[in-house]
Chains A and B, each alone.
Chain A
Amino acid sequence: MSDFLGLYNFWIVIFLMMAGFYIVISRENLIKKMIGLNIFQTSVFLLFITMGKVRGGTAPIFRPEDLETMERGGSLADLSQPYTNPIPSVLILTAIVVGVATMSLALALIVRIREEYGTIEGDQILEMEHAE
C-alpha cells in the first residue's frame, strides 16, 4: 500500500497521459483535440521531472560552501545537502519549447482549416471531403 501511495507522482502521470490520449482520440473538435494532445505531452514532462527528484534534494544551484568543497577536490558525498538532478529539468525545458511550437503550428492550421471549410468539427470536415 505504501508503495502504491509512495509512487503517487507516477499515478498522476499515468492518469494525465491516458486522459489526454483519450481526448485526442474521442473528440472531433480540433481545438479540443489539441488540448488533449497538450495534456498528453504535459504528463511526460511530469514523468521526467519526477525522475530527476532526489529525496531531500534542493534546487541544483551550488552554495558557496559546497563550491569550496568541490574546489578542494571533495566528492558529491561531502556536500552539505543533496541537490536535485538538473538534467531532466533542462531536457523538459527543451521539450516545452517543442510543445509550444507544435501547439502554435496546430492553431495556425486550425485557423486556416476554418477559413477553408467553415468549421472545426472533424466529422463535418470528413463529410465534406467525402462529398468532393
Chain B
Amino acid sequence: MGGHLPVLPIVLPLLAAPACVLLRRRPVVLTFGIGVAWATFALTVQLLLQVLATGEPVTYALGGWAAPYGIEYRIDVLSAFVALFVAGLGAVVLTYAPRSLAREVPADRQYLFVTAYLLCMTGLLGISVTGDLFNVFVFLEISALASYQLIAMGPSRRALTASFRYLVLGTIGATFILIGIGLLYEMTGTLNMVDVAHRIAEAKGTRTIRVASAFLAVGFGIKMALFPLHAWLPDAYAQAPSVVTAFLAATATKVSVYVMLRFVYTVLGPATSFQGSKLDWVLLPLALVAMFVASGVAIFQTNVRRMLAWSSLAQIGYMVLGISLANVTGVTAGIVHLFNHALTKGGLFLAMGCIAYRWGSVELRDLAGIGKRMPVTMFAWVIGGLGLIGVPATAGFVSKWYLVGAALERGMWPVAALILLSSLLAVVYVWRVVEVAYFQPAPEERGSVREAPLSLLVPTCILLGTTLFFGLNAVWSAGVAEKAARVLMGGVP
C-alpha cells in the first residue's frame, strides 16, 4: 500500500461515489460517505507527513506509464498541504451534513447528494496532486460538474438558475484553460508540468506563450471568481444547500487559486509569467479592486449568506495579491490565507447552516436577538467574523501580517496601506450582523427557538476553534506554507 499512497486519496472517493448509488438507503449511504471522507483525510495526512519527512516531492506514475508519456502525480509540500485541507474540510462538512440536509434536500435524493459530493471531492483532490496539464482540466471539470449538481439541489427554484449560470460561466472558464493548455502543448510538445517548465525557457517571450498566459489567467479568474469575473458566485452560494455552500466556499475557489499558483510559478515559471507576460501587473490591480469593491458591496447586502459570499470575493483578492507580489513572503501569505480563509469561511457558512436550521431565515433583519437565543452559534460566528477582519489571535491576522510584510518588502507601502484600509470595510459588514444579533430584542414568535443541535454545533465550533488555534500558533500553518512557497519560488525543481 505504501507505494500506491499518492493515488489512494483520489481512487477512494472516486470508487465510493458509484457505490453510494448502489447502496441507496439513506442512513447507510450517509454513514458510508462520512467514513470514506475521513479515510481520505487520513490518507492525505499520511501523504503530507511523508512529503515533509523526506522534503522531496512524491511521484507516482499512473498505470505504470513513466512520465513524461504517462500521467504523473507529483506531490510536493504545497500539493500535499492543499489536499490535506480539502479532504479535512470535506470530512468535517460531510459529518455536519445529515442533520442539515434533512431540512433542505428531500430524503429520497440524499444518496445522490453524497455521490455528487464525493465526486466533487475527487476532482478537487485530483487537481491538487496531479502533475499533468491535461489531467488538471479533466479534474477541474469533474469537480465543476459535481458542484453544478450540488448547487441545483438548493431548496428554492432560484438554485436551478444559479446553477445554470455557473454552468455556462464555468464551462467558458474551463474551455479557456483548455485553450491555454493546448497552446502550451503546441510550444513545448509535452503535457508534464515539470517537462513544460524545463522547455518553456526556449519559447519565452513568444506571442503564443503570452496568449496562453492570457487565456489561462482569464480561465482561472472565472474559476476562482476573481473580480470582475465573479458574477456566478454570489447567487450560487446564496441558493445552494447550506452544506454545499460551506464545502464549496471552503475548497472549490481555494483549489482554483492553487492551480493558478501552480501555473504561474511551476509551469510557466516566474520569469515567463512576470517578465514575459506581465501577469503581476494584471493581477495586482484586479486583486486591489476586488478587495475594495467586493467588501463595499458586502456592506449593503440584506441576506447574510450573500454578504459572506461577497466577502469571499474580497478574500480571493488578498490571495491573488499575495501571488502577484512575487516574493517568498507574498506567496507564503497567499498560501497561508488559502488555508486560514478555508477554515474561517467554512466555519462561518456552517454557522449559517445552524441558523437556517433553527431560525429558518438568514435575512439580516430577521436575525434580531439571535445572540441570546443561540449564544454558542453566534459566538462562533463572531469569532469567524473577527477572522475575516484579521483581528490579532485569529487566523486571519496571520495571513494579513505576512501580506503586509510582503508588500513592504517590495517597497509598495501604498499597497500595505490599502490592505489595512480594506480590513476596515470588513469591520463594517461584520458589525452590522453583530449589532442586529446582540443589540436588538428578539421578536415574540422566536421566543421558543433553542440552540442548534450538537451534531451541527460541534463541527461548526471545531472549524472556528481551529481558526483561533492557528491564529495563536501559526508554526504549523505558516511554517508549512513558507516551505511550500520556497519550493515554488525555487523555480524548476
Please list the residues of chain A having a beta carbon within 8 angstroms of any beta carbon in chain B. 21, 24, 30, 33, 37, 40-41, 44, 47-48, 51, 87-88, 91, 94-95, 98, 101-102, 105-106, 109-110, 112-113, 116-117, 125, 129, 132
Contact = CB atoms under 8 A, between A and B. Distances in A.
Contacts of A132: 158
Contact of B185 (A30, A40, A51): A51
Interface of B: 134, 137-138, 141, 145, 148-149, 152, 157-158, 160-161, 163-164, 167-168, 171-172, 174-175, 178-179, 182, 185-186, 191
Contact of A106 (B164, B172, B179, B186): B164
A98 B161 contact: no
B13 to A, nearest CB: 18
Residue among A30, A112, A132 with the highest chain B CB neighbour number at 10 A: A112
B185 A88 contact: yes
18 contacts: A21-B172, A24-B172, A40-B172, A41-B175, A47-B179, A51-B182, A51-B185, A87-B191, A98-B141, A102-B141, A102-B167, A106-B167, A110-B164, A112-B152, A113-B160, A116-B157, A129-B158, A132-B158
B167 A48 contact: no
> 3 smallest A-B Cβ distances: which pairs?
A116-B157, A98-B141, A113-B160
B138 A98 contact: yes
A125 B161 CA distance: 8
A26 B185 CA distance: 32
Contact of A47 (B152, B157, B182): B182
Given A91-B134, A94-B134, A105-B149, A51 B164 contact: no
Main secondary structure of the interface of A (DSSP, over half): helix
Contact of A117 (B148, B157, B167, B174): B157
B168 A24 contact: yes
Given A37-B172, A41-B175, A48-B182, A102 B145 contact: yes
A40 B167 contact: no
Contacts of A21: 172
A40 B137 CA distance: 16
B182 A109 contact: no
B171 A37 contact: yes
Given A37-B171, A40-B175, A88-B185, A101 B145 contact: yes
Contacts of B163: 109
B105 to A, nearest CB: 14
B175 A44 contact: yes
A129 B24 CA distance: 34
A24 B191 CA distance: 30
A30 B175 contact: no
A44 B182 contact: yes
Nearest to A94: B138
Contact of B148 (A105, A113, A116): A105
A86 B403 CA distance: 46
